[in-house]
Amino acid sequence: MSILHVLAIDGPVASGKGTVARAVASALGFHLLDSGAIYRAFALSCLQKKTNVSEINSLSIEAKALSLEFSGELVIVNGADATNEIRTEAVGMLASQLSAIPEVRTGLLERQRAFARAPGLVADGRDMGTVVFPGAQLKVFLTATAEVRGVRRFNQLAKSANATTPPLAQVVAQIRQRDDQDKSRPIAPLQPANDAIVIDNALQSKHETTAAVLALWALRGR
Ligand code: C5P
């Protein structure tokens, strides 16, 4: 399968993929898919509706029926603004657990593919290059050690006014836990596609990583 104009950016939590994907999409004039926001929105919706998540068979239907809209920067879940709420650690952790269930992944698959529209799409997630857009023209996998990503997340939390910052060691431990969950699941585990270009961005600014991805895009197919 060959899908034109899809640039897949995968990587673990706090690898910078969200910021880089947004900047790359804006530079290229492409649409943006933040697939993690879809998994987070589903997790939040399950919490709000008190969905019995052990009833695996109904999860695919629940996932397909998820009431979710992206309106500019806003994420609307079940008709209400959930932009900040989906970013909490509790919602992220539940999203990570639910995302290991094949019925949930299947239920959310077409919703993600529907983002591929002209003139192109930058898709950010865990399995953009392996499962959702295997025909993407360029696949990039961003990474850095758990410690480096922990420091980034710690600094983000410290800067945000309404969050109590947990100790750095706890932030690193949470990142490791989420990495383990995302890597060890049997379906669509977090891993680079065979044809992905892996960038360790520990020593790069987000601006430098963005420039590197744009340079790779300019070189694609040559
Ligand atoms: O990227 P973000 O941290 O927002 O994603 C939240 C969770 O959703 C991840 O920990 C991961 O388990 C899941 N996810 C996924 N596949 C994607 C994007 C996110 O399994 N394509």
3-state secondary structure string across 128-188 = HHHHHCCCCCEEEEEECCHHHHHHHHHHHHHHCCCCCCCCHHHHHHHHHHHHHHHHHCCCC
Entry pTM: 0.92
pLDDT, mean of residues 163-171: 88
Residue 89 or residue 171, greater confidence: 171
Is the sign of the CA dihedral 208, 215, 199, 153 positive or negative?
A: positive
> Ligand 1 — pocket residues by CB below 6 A?
13, 35-36, 39-40, 92, 95-96, 99, 125-127, 178, 182
- 85 by DSSP, 3-state: which? helix
Answer whether CATH 3.40.50.300 is correct for domain 6-220: yes
Matching residue, tokens 């209400």: 80
Centroid of chain to Cα 159: 22
CB burial of 157-173 (b: ≥16 within 10 Å; e: otherwise) equals eeeeeeeeeeebeebbe
Q: Measuring from atom 9 of ligand 1, which residue has the nearest CA?
A: 96
Residue nearest atom 14 of ligand 1, based on CA coordinates = 36
> How high is the pLDDT of residue 2?
43
Q: Which residues have a Cβ under 8 Å from the Cβ of 145 and sit 6 or more positions away?
A: 202
Please state whether 34 falls in left (phi above 0), alpha (psi between -120 and 50) or beta: beta
Q: How far apart are CA 41 and CA 67, in angstroms?
A: 9
The Å distance, Cα 150 to ligand 1 centre, comes to 17
Nearest to 16 by CA among 208, 215, 206: 206
Domain-by-domain residue ranges, the chain? Answer: 6-220
Tens-digit pLDDT profile for residues 59-70: 999 999 999 999
Residues in Cβ contact with 55 at an 8 Å cutoff, skipping those fewer than 6 apart: none
| Cα–Cα distance, 67 to 87 (Å, whole number) | 17
Q: State residue 163's pLDDT score.
A: 63
Tell me the per-residue pLDDT of 108-164, one tens digit each, with 9 for 90 and over. 999 999 999 999 999 999 999 999 999 999 999 999 999 999 999 999 888 876 567
What pLDDT is recorded for position 222?
A: 53
- Residues 12-52: pLDDT tens digits? 999 999 999 999 999 999 999 999 999 999 999 999 999 99
* Ligand 1 centroid from CA 94, angstroms: 10
Q: 175 C-alpha vs ligand 1 centroid, how far in Å?
A: 12
**Would you state the torsion angle of the CA atoms of residues 148, 150, 155, 160, taken in this order, to the nearest 10 degrees?**
150
Instruction: Locate all alpha helices (DSSP H) within 65-145, ordered by sequence.
Output: 89-98, 102-113
77 CA distance to ligand 1 middle (Å) = 17
Q: Is the pLDDT of residue 87 over 50?
A: yes
